[in-house]
Amino acid sequence: MGVKNTKKFQFDAKIKELQMIKRTIPKIIGNTALNHFLKGFDDEAFSDMSERSNPWAKRKSLTKRDKVAGRRNILVQSGALRRSIVVRRATWNRIIVGSYGIIYARRHNRGLKGMPKRQFIGESQILNNKIRSILKKAIDKAMK
């Protein structure tokens, strides 16, 4: 004799929860990526394999403004570069986070034309791990 399982698996309810995840998770992941890249401006480093794994090259010399006001973070003079990083698109098929409207962004990120590379956006193992964790938690919650 077996024991009857009185609790049935609610297949339709689980499908609805997974569909809700499909609608909401891209925005959460996009904002997670945005926050990850913005944190680099505070850390003055790009976090790839570990926190502060790629520290930015220091300035060669201080500007007059720096000498009067004190030290400021690297890549932050007006704040325009930092503010240019936005979530451009967040759908299930594609999430795009990038820097828009700043012509010198690519030079800093890649280190072009004699400038030292100070990467602030790009592929990151730490970010990938955060995204996997978000997805796993959401799916586990939906399947309970």
pLDDT in tens, the chain (144 residues): 555 555 677 888 888 989 999 999 999 999 999 999 999 888 888 988 766 677 877 766 665 655 555 565 777 777 889 999 999 999 999 999 999 999 989 998 999 888 888 899 999 999 999 999 999 999 998 888
Q: Is residue 99 part of a domain?
A: yes
Q: What is the largest CA-CA distance in the chain?
A: 86
Provide the token pair at 4. 């009857």
Distance CA 48, CA 119 (A): 10
Looking at the structure of the chain, the number of domains it has is 1
Asked if the structure places residue 29 within a domain, the reply is yes
103 within some domain: yes
Predicted pLDDT of residue 137:
95
User: What is the span of the domain harbouring residue 129?
Assistant: 11-54+64-143
Structure tokens belonging to residue 118:
């100070």
Q: Is 49 a domain residue?
A: yes
Torsion region of 117: left, alpha or beta (phi above 0 gives left; psi -120 to 50 gives alpha): beta
Nearest to 36 by CA among 127, 97, 98, 132: 127
pLDDT at 113: 80
pLDDT of residue 72: 58
Alpha-carbon torsion 121, 124, 130, 136, what sign? positive
pLDDT for the residue numbered 24: 95
Q: Is residue 5 part of a domain?
A: no
Residue 86, C-beta contacts closer than 8 angstroms, at least 6 positions apart: 34, 97, 98, 100
Q: What is the C-alpha separation between 95 and 26, in angstroms, rounded?
A: 7
Residues near 111 by beta carbon (within 8 Å), at least 6 away in sequence: 117, 118, 119
User: What pTM value is reported for the model?
Assistant: 0.81
**Residue 86 pLDDT:** 97
Q: Note whether residue 2 is domain-resident.
A: no
pLDDT score at 4: 59
